[in-house]
Amino acid sequence: MPDYKWPAMNKRKIMGTRVSRLDGPAKSSGRAKYPSDMNPQGLLQTAILVSPHAHAKIRSINTDAAKSMPGVAGIRTFVNAGAEVQWANAEIAIVAANTEEQARDAVRAIKVDYEVLPHMVREENLAKAGTRAKAAGEQITGDPDQALKDADVVLQSEYGIPVITHCCLEPHGQVSEWKGDAINFWPSTQAVSTVGNQLAQALSFDAAKIKVTCDYMGGGFGSKFPADSWGAEGARLSKDTGGRPVKVFLDRATELTIAGVRPSHFMKVKVGAKKDGTITAWQSDSWSTGGFAGGGMAPIPYVYANIPNRRMNHAAVSLNAGPQRAWRAPNHPQASFLTTSAITDLAAKLNMDPLDVFLKNANLTLREATYKSQLEKAAKMIDWKAKYHAPGEGKGTIRRGVGIGVATWGGAGHASKCKIVLHPDGSVEVELGSQDIGTGTRTCITMVAAETLGLPMSAIRVKIGTNSYPASGPSGGSTTIGGVSSSTRKAAVNALEKLFEKVAPSLGVPADQLEAVDSRIQVKGNPNKAMSWKQAAQKMGPQSIEEMGENVPAQAPREGLNTLGASGVQMAEVEVDTETGRVRMRKLVAVQDCGLVVNPKTAESQVYGACIMSICSALFEERVMDAVTGRVLNPDMEFYKLAGLPDIGEIEVQMDITPEHDARGIIGLGEPCAIGGGAAIANAIHNALGVRVPLAPATPEKVLNAIGNRRYA
């Protein structure tokens, strides 16, 4: 078997260097065309009619008036009479018309008769949830009752983090063209190679005849895997209208209501410890909702999972609210917030520096040495020693504080196939049915191929973004770079082997004595016995070399190209105006390992983005539900608040690149870096104020309510 191993760290020429995103100029200049930019000839625009009720039975839908409206080309319904809708803004019908305005006007002419049914849309008070709350069953380890009795100190506390919504810059949607027996589908997707199969299933259509194209996508974060009901109805509208292309992109209000949320998580907890800070017991009662289907338990206690005595109970609360979708590290940010808040408050009760408590209990994690070293690195970056003070200690109305968040994640590489074609003219093509996402799929694939073939990046043409290329998995679980880099590496090694066979006779050595370096094929270690890549390519004859490489997740750990298990620590410094409750970010630092880092520059970018998302959810984001009307009150970018540049403060990222981490292969980064920041910020606020703001986000309202009558001067 060929040797696919990554080149040694010190031998790499391209991998590990700081390369700017190859598609950056196209994106920043607007030349990159996203699915929502697709406007094929004859395009029909659409508008979707959504339910104004959070829970209702549909008695009838009448589209007659809408059909005869100007410009209307087609109407379809998502549901029929008799169906029940379980959340407001659930999709009811869709109109295709020549212009968006005509479609929107026509949608308003559709008459729906609803039987309005009782709804429940709030879950922060579990006692009010009644039968909507379903217990998940107790998990118990050791003897938590005895351990809590024996503990020197027991912290008892409550924390909560609300539902937040996906907020992709490019909303969910697709352009479809169903002509004859073939469908062209341009979805904004993080699953180029699987979304067409889903569409085929929904339409009972031949998957082989669906061509999916998505050269660029404007954000997914876990919410853009499915073909979606509106994708299927968009395609059907195209068929209904004789194959006219149909564009369906959700408007912002619908996007923020039905295109995926991150579940809430609330927890009542007791944590027991010895005087010296050793954590001995954990008992939590938690509940969460991700919509009508309820919500699973976050992995608590988080990272510090091996507390010897623990009891966890959880209830999933079903609400009449838009459904959850994976949101960058599903349930981990909540778990980090809940767990590190409790550990930080426990430290306060012990009169200990929380950093010491996190360090002391690192044996409760799966990677003690890594967490210890990352805690120390992050502490240095934030200057913990100088900045930490006892909670609430300080002078003046403006107070500063520092806090800690931790993260863990799986990662590794998804199933991925790559085809590499070496042409006799020396050009190289790389094809993968993967998507442009995260750390820069195109850029990293190019780097791996160039590194392996001994060519400059400019010599490699990478083609992704369609299901006509060999399939790669969806971009979920932080597995894309691991998957595509491994398959590219293997394809490139395989192709080189074939090229060596062609070239070996001319250089007078067996093929396995050759190597590709600096755009040459040469006898290993001997640049004098060499020929240029171009000359070598000519030895192929007229036929190109086509080789495949495949990453098979079950085999990957043996091959050493990618593996599971990332760790990270984030620390925040905040400033709190104790009179106004305003929290300002001063600094957020992130130490993140993800094994072998293909491109430190785009990796850091990924972490910067995750830090900004963490700031948004820690300080601003909350889906506001109205109990009476059952509606989301802030499905807009005005009251669904995200941070702007002046809200972000300084961010410092340190990729934890060490020979030990590198030797593990590629792990994946998208999710682990989006976990600990929010927790760190919440804990920094506690350090500044000496009181806990138990509910996120830390808005002036929540901060002032937590401060109560306490005076700061």
Partner 1 sequence: MQAFEYGNPTTLKDAFGLLGSNWSDAEILAGGTDILSLMKDYITSPKRVVNIKGIKELGGIARKGGNVRIGATVTLDDLASNAVIRASFPSLTQAALGVASPQIRNMGTVAGDLCQRPRCWYYRRGFGLLAKGPNGEMLVPNGENKYHAIFSSGPAYFVSASTLGPALVALGASVTIASASGNRSVPVEKFFVSPSGDGQREIDLKPNEIVTEILIPAPATKNATYEIRERELLDWPLTAVSVALRLSGSTVNSASIALGHVAPTIWRASQAEKMLVGKTITAETAEAAGEAAVANATPLSQNAYKLKLTKVAVKRALLQAAGVKA
Interacting residues with partner 1 (CB under 8 A): 101, 104-105, 108, 116, 579-582, 584, 619-620, 624-629, 631, 633-634, 636, 638-639, 641, 643-647, 699-701, 704-705
Compute the least distance from the CB of residue 100 to partner 1, in Å.
Answer: 10
Q: CA gyration radius for the chain?
A: 28
Compute the least distance from the CB of residue 697 to partner 1, in Å.
Answer: 9
Measured CA distances, 472 to 217, 349, 476, 597 (Å): 16, 50, 11, 20
Compute the least distance from the CB of residue 579 to partner 1, in Å.
Answer: 4
Compute the least distance from the CB of residue 415 to partner 1, in Å.
Answer: 41
As a whole number of angstroms, the distance between CA 693 and CA 698 comes to 7
Contact 417, 549 (CB under 8 A): yes
As a whole number of angstroms, the distance between CA 91 and CA 171 comes to 15
Compute the least distance from the CB of residue 68 to partner 1, in Å.
Answer: 16
Our CB check for partner 1 shows the closer of 82 and 646 to be: 646
Our CB check for partner 1 shows the closer of 56 and 316 to be: 56
Compute the least distance from the CB of residue 171 to partner 1, in Å.
Answer: 15
Compute the least distance from the CB of residue 274 to partner 1, in Å.
Answer: 39
Our CB check for partner 1 shows the closer of 150 and 647 to be: 647
Our CB check for partner 1 shows the closer of 510 and 700 to be: 700
Compute the least distance from the CB of residue 562 to partner 1, in Å.
Answer: 39
Compute the least distance from the CB of residue 289 to partner 1, in Å.
Answer: 17
Our CB check for partner 1 shows the closer of 25 and 700 to be: 700
Our CB check for partner 1 shows the closer of 639 and 660 to be: 639
As a whole number of angstroms, the distance between CA 407 and CA 371 comes to 9
* Residue 137 tokens, joined: 């069953």
Contact 689, 700 (CB under 8 A): no
* Residue 476 tokens, joined: 């979920």
Contact 417, 471 (CB under 8 A): yes
Residue 84 CA, chain-centre distance (Å), reads 31
The half-sphere exposure of 642 on its side-chain side, counting CA atoms within 13 A, is 17
Interior angle at CA 122, CA 117 and CA 124, nearest 5:
155
As a whole number of angstroms, the distance between CA 30 and CA 439 comes to 20
Pairing label, strands 246-249, 111-116: unpaired
Compute the least distance from the CB of residue 581 to partner 1, in Å.
Answer: 7
Nearest to 568 by CA among 474, 435, 478: 478
SS3 410: strand
Alpha helices for 570-699 (secondary structure H):
600-619, 659-662, 676-689
Our CB check for partner 1 shows the closer of 515 and 577 to be: 577
Compute the least distance from the CB of residue 77 to partner 1, in Å.
Answer: 21
Our CB check for partner 1 shows the closer of 429 and 626 to be: 626
Our CB check for partner 1 shows the closer of 244 and 702 to be: 702
Our CB check for partner 1 shows the closer of 105 and 656 to be: 105
Angle between helices 676-689 and 700-707 (to 10 degrees): 40
279 bridge partner residues: 273
Contacts 24+ apart (CB under 8 A), 503-509: 503/531, 503/536, 503/539, 506/531, 506/539, 507/531
Our CB check for partner 1 shows the closer of 48 and 540 to be: 48
Our CB check for partner 1 shows the closer of 37 and 647 to be: 647
Sheet holding 210-212, edge to edge: 72-77, 91-97, 44-50, 246-249, 173-179, 182-187, 210-212
210 bridge partner residues: 183
| Cβ-based neighbours of 380, under 8 Å, separated by 6 or more | none
Which amino acid is it at 531?
Answer: M
SS3 198: helix
Contact 225, 190 (CB under 8 A): yes
Our CB check for partner 1 shows the closer of 43 and 704 to be: 704
- The reply to whether omega before 694 is within 30° of 0 (cis) is no
Compute the least distance from the CB of residue 288 to partner 1, in Å.
Answer: 21
Residue 504's CB is within 10 A of a number of other CB atoms, namely: 18
Our CB check for partner 1 shows the closer of 397 and 506 to be: 397
141 bridge partner residues: 310
Compute the least distance from the CB of residue 394 to partner 1, in Å.
Answer: 17
As a whole number of angstroms, the distance between CA 198 and CA 216 comes to 20
Nearest to 281 by CA among 301, 252, 265: 301
Compute the least distance from the CB of residue 401 to partner 1, in Å.
Answer: 19
As a whole number of angstroms, the distance between CA 557 and CA 567 comes to 18
CA end-to-end span of the chain? 71
Compute the least distance from the CB of residue 314 to partner 1, in Å.
Answer: 27
| Cβ-based neighbours of 663, under 8 Å, separated by 6 or more | none
Which amino acid is it at 510?
Answer: P
Residue 394 CA, chain-centre distance (Å), reads 38
Compute the least distance from the CB of residue 320 to partner 1, in Å.
Answer: 15
* Residue 697 tokens, joined: 């986000």
Which amino acid is it at 514?
Answer: L
Our CB check for partner 1 shows the closer of 438 and 609 to be: 609
Our CB check for partner 1 shows the closer of 209 and 582 to be: 582
